[in-house]
Amino acid sequence: MNMTARLRNWLRAGVYELRAHRDRLSYPRRRPCVMIFPSNQPWDAASNLRAWLVAPELRKLGWRAVVVPEPLTLRQRQRLVRLEKPDVIVLQQTRHPLNVPALYAPIPCVVDADDADCLDPKLKDHIARCTREAHAVIGGSRFVAQTLSQHSRHRAHVIWTCTPRRDTALGPPPANRPPVVAWAHNDPLMYPQEAALVRRIMLGVAKRTQVEFWLFGTRESEAAEWLQPIRQAGARCVAVPRLPYAAYLDKVSEAAVGLQPICLENEFSRGKSFGKVLAYLQGQVAVVASRAVDHPLFFRHGENGYLADSDVESWVDPIVTLLEQPELRARVARSGWQDFQARLTTEVFARLLDPILRSAARVTATETDLPHLPL
């Protein structure tokens, strides 16, 4: 790294530390205190949903919650830790080289992981070591939690990825939307098994009814060849490039049906939970998802969504039905949105995280005079 780049990184880290001090000094001095170390900045969906947006909800539960920006160096992080003297630290993912419990000992650390990085041979030993050193471990799905628990001294918890509550849903009424099917992935063609399944599904749908297909996370120049067979079958296809999260949610909420395929032969897909599904549910988009991972724990087939198997027709039939029956589509979409409001909001995430943090920090609720929120 040349001198100019080093100076730029040093200045950037300095600016972010000043912002961190400004923010933490604005919070009431109280106990218990949690510091949250995201693996990335808020523009990264996982870091935003499982770290940055969780802190305000924890403050409502009586915590002093301080989020540490990703660009800070170890010296800057440890300086903040000395000033805050937190009761517990949350390490969101272990991808960041400084999200290692041993660096902050003896303060208890909680490791939160929401995907299957633990299956990557290059990361396996590192994640196992971090998990062993942690006072608590959280997985974003049952698969991740079970995998991490092999290395943990403690039982691993499961908290699905959540998103902030909205009083009203995004987008036009579901019954009034055009026949648009969306696959709202952020990098769809990098998942070849799922991409192949979706193409077969959309070929089947296009042969039976009028449909427009939106492929998110890519551009026409990248996706034209992949989309060509679907276009030849009669469907209009649109490649939607990556968007800022708010714009992404707005765009998804214009669709009628959203697809969430999971192919378990792709081992990395076993770690998926509800990240992409959140955009559909928040926008009252009727969901058709694989009967895999944790989906059957949330979706009730034909009520708040549809569950499909590996055969194409189990996908095509409900998609065509939802496109051709607007009132059914609206009923399913509203039911999914209501269940999302009850089970997949950031408020719920914080309520589930709260006792885990208290246990790790050995702080009891009676010491903080907290409001009681029913689950």
3-state secondary structure 170-235: CCCCHHHCCCEEEECCCCHHHCHHHHHHHHHHHHHHHHHCCCEEEEECCCHHHHHHHHHHHHHCCC
Residue at 225 is within a domain: yes
Which helix (H) or strand (E) segment holds residue 36: the answer is: strand 33-37
Q: 331 in helix, strand or coil?
A: helix
The helix (run of H) or strand (run of E) holding residue 144 is helix 142-149
CA dist 298 and 306 (Å) reads 11
In this structure, what CATH number is given to the domain that contains residue 328?
3.40.50.2000
Q: Which helix (H) or strand (E) holds 306?
A: strand 306-308
Do 184 and 236 share a domain, yes or no?
yes
Residue 307 shares a structural domain with residue 188 = yes
Boundaries of domain holding 124: 9-162+345-367
- Residue 9's pLDDT is 80
Give me the residues of the chain with pLDDT under 70, please: 1, 363-375
Q: Kindly state whether residues 312 and 350 are assigned to the same domain.
A: no
Phi, psi of 361 (to 5 degrees): -90, -5
To the nearest 10°, report the CA torsion of 261, 262, 268, 271.
110
Q: What pLDDT, in 10s, does the model give residues 98-113?
A: 999 999 999 999 999 9
User: Is 357 among the domain residues?
Assistant: yes
User: Is residue 373, in this structure, part of any structural domain at all?
Assistant: no
Cα(60)–Cα(154) distance, integer angstroms? 27
- Considering the domain boundaries, does residue 374 fall inside one? no
Q: Do 74 and 88 fall into the same domain?
A: yes
Q: How many domains does the chain have?
A: 2
> 3-class DSSP state for residue 338?
helix
* Cβ-contact 158, 138 below 8 angstroms: yes
What DSSP state is assigned to residue 52? I
Q: Which of 68, 66, 142 is nearest to 99 (CA)?
A: 68
Yes or no: say if 216 and 194 are a contact pair by the CB < 8 Å rule.
no
Q: Is residue 311 part of a domain?
A: yes
User: Same domain for 183 and 148?
Assistant: no
Q: What is the pLDDT of residue 82?
A: 95
Q: Are residues 52 and 84 in the same domain?
A: yes
191 and 312 belong to one structural domain? yes
Assess whether 193 and 288 both reside in one domain. Answer: yes
Task: Specify whether 272 is located in the same domain as 304.
Answer: yes
Can you give the pTM of this predicted structure?
0.87
pLDDT at 1: 61
Strand order in the sheet with 88-92: 64-67, 33-37, 88-92, 109-113, 136-139, 157-158
Angstrom distance (rounded) from CA 199 to CA 290: 15
Distance (Å) of CA 60 to CA 168, 200, 340: 22, 47, 21
Residue 371, pLDDT score: 33
Closest CA to 94 of 112, 71, 78, 121: 112
146 and 225 in a single domain? The answer is no
Residues 213 and 357 in one domain: no
Residue 136 belongs to a domain: yes
C-beta of residue 335 within 8 angstroms of C-beta of residue 303: yes
Let me know if residue 372 belongs to a domain.
Answer: no
Looking at the structure, do residues 188 and 331 belong to the same domain, yes or no?
Answer: yes
